[in-house]
Structure 1
Amino acid sequence: MSVICEEWKVSIRRACGALEFDRSTFHYQSRKRDQAGIEARIKAICETRVRYGYRRVHVMLQREGWDINVKRTHRIYNELGLQLRNKTPKRRVKVKLRDDRMPATRPNDVWAMDFVHDQLAAGKKIRVLTVVDTFSRFSPVIDPRFSYRAEDVVATLERICAKVGYPRTIRVDQGSEFVSRDLDLWAYVKGVTLDFSRPGKPTDNAFIEAFNGRFRSECLNTHWFLTLADAREKMEDWLRYYNEDRPHGAIGHKPPITLQNPGGAASPPP
């Protein structure tokens, strides 16, 4: 329209009248907000929490103080092509690790958590929750049960955090117990960040994989467990040895307790 006004040497009013073009449309200024920042944040959330739909993404945005309604979150989520695909083969799932993932610099900075499966002598299966501090290699708990639900994970974490303190971050995989609302709510209330691994990428949580390998070769493969109580007793004995006596090559062949507790005080006898 401006070009026409210049070429014809007429006003905007006459040009709009000649072309039957509404002047309000010509003078309209778009009020659309810049959404580059919110798009980048939604992408970052979905890169680390690959099983989150737009509703959970919206909850995370609200927690962080973003002024956005759920309809806009849904629209941007769809425009970015982030819709969940329930039956996508693992080989086609791609997600980047967070760029700000840094190594731990002190105890309780980063924990790693996972499950190990085994069975009693009679054949009944058990699940063992394992946790390790990635800085000191100290393990605050090994907890065997016949079954584990999300609320059981929260109860175990609350019990051990009362003794050793709360971590800043916990690295976990995409297991149903770890992506649950119960654990997410607990982490939010306690100020703990859940750092999820990529599906099919155990190396994203290498510290707990290495710990579980030692636990299996040195404890699970060397004992018969008659009952759950017997399994718990033997596992606690091994855990005490691992934390307080066993030399760890990654920390200068020292026992983990020397980094977790600079005084190196051993736990009281059972």
Structure 2
Amino acid sequence: MIFKQYGGIYGYRRIRMVIDRKYGKRYNLKRIRRLMILLGLKSFIRRSNGYSTKTSYVNIEENILNREFTADKPNQKWVTDITHLKYSLSHKAYLSVIKDLYDGSIVAYKVGYYNNNELVMETIKAALEANPGATPLLHSDRGSQYTSREYRLVTTKAEITRSMSRVGKCIDNAPVESFFGHFKSESYDLKRYKSFEELVEDIDRYIQFYNKERYQEKLNSLTPLEYRDQAVA
């Protein structure tokens, strides 16, 4: 039998091709498929994974921010995202940040080995602890962490308004992408990190520099935290 001859890896399409070539005819594909079903013949290569994406929980929000990248006061609008980094030869790490659109400061960040829900939730927790009482609009992309049930529960409990970028529109979250670009061009891309700890240390150093020492023309030549301090003075 042809199915057994090829070790069970051929589905009905390839079985049809083998039969056609062997007998010099053109057999009906649906007939081959129907006969294989009747005989219980099913290839074990590239089977369906059960359509898990159809049954898993996904929470999508509107793009409430709508590219309005300015804010009237601190903690009014936050944007967040994750970028992947490397250390040693090819080990991966992930940087999750939350940026305030009022002054451009990084209000919270976390570095982890894994790009998972825990990394995002820890970042949100750090941002809320650093800014007690804050109930901002928080804009993200549609990554699995941000569309998860856990993210929805955590943000709802904190009275955070969720906003999400449209599909394929990375410019909808341009401010946080801009920060990642500055970090990589001014620090990360200029170095090679031997360990995870060395990478984290450099991220700590850069974000301190970015918040406290990096003057920005759009902030009247002040640093993000200097500009922020003016708002609460």
| TM-score bracket relative to the smaller structure | 0.5 to 0.7
Residues 99 and 184 (structure 1), Cα distance of their counterparts in 2 relative to 1, 3 Å cut: closer
Residue of structure 2 aligned with 1:160, choices 100, 116, 127: 127
One-letter amino acid of the structure 1 residue matched with residue 128 of structure 2:
C
Question: Alpha-carbon deviations, 1:1-33, whole Å to 9, x = none?
Answer: xxxxxxxxxxxxxxxxxxxxxxxxxxxxxxxxx
User: Match for residue 189 of structure 1?
Assistant: 157
User: Match for residue 144 of structure 1?
Assistant: 111
Specify which structure has the bigger relative contact order, considering alpha-carbon pairs within 8 angstroms and separated by 6 or more residues: 2
- Give me the whole-angstrom Cα distance separating, in 2, the residues matched to 1:127 and 1:230: 14
Residue of structure 2 aligned with 1:202, choices 167, 170, 175: 170
Contact kept, 8 Å, 1:258 with 1:264, in 2: the verdict is: no
Structure 1 residue 147 displacement after superposition: 0.3
Indicate whether 1:115 and 2:82 are aligned.
yes
Contact kept, 8 Å, 2:109 with 2:123, in 1: the verdict is: no
Structure 1 residue 101 displacement after superposition: 7.1
One-letter amino acid of the structure 2 residue matched with residue 219 of structure 1:
S
Structure 1 residue 200 displacement after superposition: 0.5
Contact kept, 8 Å, 1:167 with 1:192, in 2: the verdict is: yes
Question: Alpha-carbon deviations, 1:71-112, whole Å to 9, x = none?
Answer: xxxxxxxxxxxxxxxxxxxxxxxx984488753111111111
TM-score by length of 2: 0.68
The higher radius of gyration belongs to 1
User: Match for residue 143 of structure 2?
Assistant: 175
One-letter amino acid of the structure 2 residue matched with residue 126 of structure 1:
A
User: Match for residue 240 of structure 1?
Assistant: 208
Structure 1 residue 117 displacement after superposition: 1.3
Structure 1 residue 241 displacement after superposition: 0.7
- Give me the whole-angstrom Cα distance separating, in 1, the residues matched to 2:82 and 2:99: 12
Question: Alpha-carbon deviations, 1:141-177, whole Å to 9, x = none?
Answer: 3322110321331122112321223341111001001
**Identity of paired residues, percent?**
21
Indicate whether 1:230 and 2:198 are aligned.
yes
Unpaired runs of 5+ residues, structure 2, are: 1-52
When the two structures are aligned, how many residues end up with a matched partner? 178
User: Match for residue 221 of structure 1?
Assistant: 189
Residues 52 and 130 (structure 1), Cα distance of their counterparts in 2 relative to 1, 3 Å cut: farther
Unpaired runs of 5+ residues, structure 1, are: 1-50, 61-94, 266-270
- Give me the whole-angstrom Cα distance separating, in 1, the residues matched to 2:152 and 2:212: 32
User: Match for residue 125 of structure 1?
Assistant: 92
**CA root-mean-square deviation:** 2.9
Counterparts of residues 247-258 of structure 1 (less than 5 Å): 247-258=215-226
User: Match for residue 106 of structure 1?
Assistant: 73
Residues 167 and 222 (structure 1), Cα distance of their counterparts in 2 relative to 1, 3 Å cut: farther
Contact kept, 8 Å, 2:63 with 2:163, in 1: the verdict is: no
